[in-house]
Amino acid sequence: MDDKLRIESRLAQIGSLEDPATGAVNFPIYNATAFRHPKLGQSTGFDYSRTKSPTRSVLETAAAQLESGDAAFACSSGMAALQTIFSLFGQGDHLIVSLDLYGGTYRLLERIMSKFGVSASYVDTNDLEALESVRRPETKAVVIETPTNPLMMITDIEAVCTWAKSHELLTIVDNTLLTPFFQRPLELGADIIIHSATKYLGGHNDVLAGLIVTKGAELSAEMAILHNSIGAVLGPTDSYQLMRGMKTLALRMERHESNSLELAHYLKGHSAIAEVFHPGLPEHPGFEIQNRQSSGNTGIFSFKVKDARYVEPILRHIRLIAFAESLGGVESLMTYPTVQTHADIPVEIRDAVGVDDRLLRFSVGIEHIDDLIADLGHALEQARIEIETADAQGGQA
């Protein structure tokens, strides 16, 4: 596709000029796993679908271009993408990883990669001194999430990449929360991007998928070998469904951003709320870096209630907003990280970063902002009444 087109146009047109046989405006689903060879020593470019598959290829080409990479690899989930990436490393290798990390990534490193002799140190990746203090001769890469989830900590991608390059380390960025519509880390010096495409790229809570995007010929060739050898590839129907979601990414991200900012402002002024973590608020410590390296904000943010007793009634009283895990879909979801997404992270690490029993994470959907505020406002009010009633009864006893 034309590189000079703006990202909105490229997203809307994913796959639309790619099927010369029929002119179909969206690329068809090719289910074939085997492809006929024209003659001995010749190939159409497709041999066996684990290696390369037509529908998946269109998705991969689009993903590479959107992230300004050289190659992309579609995987059966975000975790499959991470496992494929981590398979670059082996016995004795060491990684430096964001402290406030997606729970599944932590579990993969500690339960699985550790068996293959790969170790990790967890630090605040925005602190170059902290990075330097854990670096060893065996260190091979820095793995960052920015913003982190759930605490929305921001890392200066360019600063980390510069530091990493000076020590010949790879920089791997999980770009799930901002998507290439708002942030393109490869342009800031990163080497590998990973996405849980299950989230914003798919956007509708109906397809599980992961993407890897690489920069550089050598790294791209190595990743192609891992992708094909491990085989956790995305199927043709899921590839199609993911492209269908990506076509509306620009519109969705704009609405996710504006809704989440309005809700963050609303909660900031609410008497039951102790703290709001949203990098789009000027008082957020990462506000300036975020503004410099990204063109917008994700729809995820988190907040702490003043009293942990609020959590249960809030989750019981929200109606439009669903109490559910996951994030990045058109529907608003609220989750309780300590017992859900982050349960696999040891309490000491959770406490150190501030993921405690008063923290709720909000994945703001694309519903009308007034309905979202009304739903949350009602749940907060019901929670306040229940707590005050309980306190009054406790006082009488």
Binding site for ligand PLP (CB under 6 A): 77-79, 102, 104-105, 145, 149, 174, 176, 196, 198-199, 208, 210
Shortest distance (Å) from residue 368 CB to ligand PLP: 25
Q: How many other CB atoms are found less than 10 A from the CB of residue 129?
A: 8
- Angle of the 236-246 helix axis to the 54-66 helix axis, nearest 10: 40
Asked if residues 238 and 60 have their Cβ atoms less than 8 Å apart, the reply is: no
Residue 304 is a catalytic residue: no
Residue 365: CB minimum distance to ligand PLP, A: 16
Smallest distance, Å, CB 316 to ligand PLP? 25
**Closest distance between ligand PLP and the C-beta of residue 373, in Å?**
25
Instruction: Please say whether the beta carbons of 250 and 7 come within 8 A.
Output: yes
Residue 102 among the catalytic residues: yes
Smallest distance, Å, CB 251 to ligand PLP? 21
- Whether the Cβ atoms of residue 283 and residue 390 lie closer than 8 Å to each other: no
CA neighbor of 252 nearest in space, from 23, 1, 12, 6: 12
Q: How far is the CB of 195 from ligand PLP (least distance, A)?
A: 8
Catalytic residue among 70, 174, 191, 375: 174
Q: Which is nearer to ligand PLP, 71 or 201 (CB)?
A: 201
Question: In this complex, which beta carbon is closest to ligand PLP, that of residue 18 or of residue 67?
Answer: 67
Q: Which is nearer to ligand PLP, 70 or 174 (CB)?
A: 174
Cβ(138)–Cβ(93) under 8 Å?
Answer: yes
Integer Cα distance of 395 and 190 in angstroms: 58
Instruction: Report the residue number, 28 or 104, with the smaller CB distance to ligand PLP.
Output: 104
Which among 10, 199, 255, 358 is annotated as catalytic? 199
For the CB of residue 7, give the shortest distance to ligand PLP in the complex, in Å: 21
The residue among 393, 17, 328 whose CA lies nearest residue 178 is 328
Look at residue 5 and give its three-state secondary structure: coil
Asked if 265 and 224 touch (Cβ cutoff 8 Å), the reply is no
Count CB-CB contacts under 10 A for residue 162.
14
Catalytic residue check, 351: no
Of 235, 224, 203, the C-alpha closest to 77 is 235
Residue closer to ligand PLP by CB (options 125, 176) is 176
* CA atoms of 349 and 37, how far apart (whole Å): 54
Is 50 designated active site?
yes
**Three-state SS at 193:** strand
Q: Which is nearest to 141 in space by CA: 82, 179, 101, 86?
A: 86
Q: Which two tokens stand for residue 370?
A: 């007034």
C-beta nearest to ligand PLP: residue: 78
Does residue 52 contact residue 42 with C-beta atoms inside 8 Å?
A: no
Q: Among residues 10, 93, 100, 102, which one is catalytic?
A: 102
Residues acting as catalytic residues: 50, 102, 174, 199
